[in-house]
Structure 1
Amino acid sequence: MFYGEYEHSIDPKGRLIIPAKFRQALKTHDIKALFLTRGLDGCLFVFSESEWRLAENRFKQIPFTKAEGRKFNRLFFSGATELAVDGLGRLLIPKTLKDFAQIKQDVVIVGVSTRMEIWAKEKWQQFYESSRQSFEEVAERVMLE
């Protein structure tokens, strides 16, 4: 559903224009609400409502008796917010989440199949440069035969 990477800027009011291809995917799949939360590696995750419910159900299975499980769920869910895309195709990113992802103005929006990721441009460049060299090695470790 979401593929590619796109450079955009956040306006002074904290609004981010969703790439046209992603807006089209939202329309095609009749997605009205999006969920935004802290992601991994310093980015923000954006889920459709159906994907959010799948993640929520999966994470609810983490035993609350385990300290790491409690920590993960607290950080993941406490940062979550439900957002509507405005008539101009923009999302309003809360200050707490902008601060978490160290977003000032320039961002890269990355499509990762069932979710979007929003990265501060500098952080995405650092991640990409440090990861691209080992892409084949990582593929070998994570791919199932």
Structure 2
Amino acid sequence: MFQGSQSLNVDVKGRVAVPSRYRELLAAVCEGRLIVTANPYERCLNIYPEPQWKDVKAKIEALPNSNKKVRRLQRLVLGNASELEMDGNGRLLLPPTLREFANLDKKAVLVGLGEKAELWSEQSWNEMLDESDDEPMPEEMSNLSL
């Protein structure tokens, strides 16, 4: 559903316009209802169409909350989840707490990742692209040929 990246503007009220190439599809798939929440691994936001969110939410709720890391993930993702609906102009009003979490000010980048998208501040996105990656490659990627 989501692919590619696109620069977006965040207006003074905290609204972003959903790119036109996604609007019709989102209207058909979820009637423009999206869930926006904190990404638990990086300072950006995850955006899910409502049907995909239900699956993600169920997986997170099923985790054993006796583990401190699980509780942190649940608090970040479920505790910050906001139900949003595109307005008549295809815009989403991002809650101030989520804008602050992701350091969203005036310039943002929407990154499509299939069934979800990430929303980054332009500065954070560029910094992430420039940083070196010292982590070992997961085994699942060892035979991936692109």
Q: Tell me: CA distance 1:69–1:129, structure 2 relative to 1, closer, same or farther (3 Å).
A: same
Q: Which residue is equivalent to 1:115?
A: 116
Question: Percent same amino acid at aligned positions?
Answer: 30
Matches of 1:141 and 1:51, distance apart in 2: 26
1:57 aligns with 2:58: yes
Q: How does 1:100-139 map to 2 (within 5 A)?
A: 100-130=101-131, 138=137
Matches of 1:115 and 1:124, distance apart in 2: 17
> Deviation string for 1:58-110 (max 9, x for gaps)?
11121011111111101111111000000100000011000000111100001
Report the Cα offset of residue 29 of structure 1.
2.7
Q: What code does the residue aligned with 1:5 have?
A: S
Conserved? CA contact 1:2–1:25, under 8 Å: no
1:4 aligns with 2:4: yes
Q: Which residue is equivalent to 2:78?
A: 77
TM-score (norm 2): 0.88
Matches of 2:27 and 2:17, distance apart in 1: 15
Conserved? CA contact 2:30–2:51, under 8 Å: no
1:143 aligns with 2:141: yes
Q: Which has the larger helix fraction?
A: 1
After TM superposition, where is structure 1 displaced by more than 3 Å over at least 4 residues in a row? none
Conserved? CA contact 1:31–1:48, under 8 Å: no
Give the secondary-structure state (helix, strand or coil) at the position aligned to 1:96.
helix
Q: Tell me: CA distance 1:65–1:130, structure 2 relative to 1, closer, same or farther (3 Å).
A: same
Residue segments in structure 2 that go unaligned for 5+ positions in a row:
none
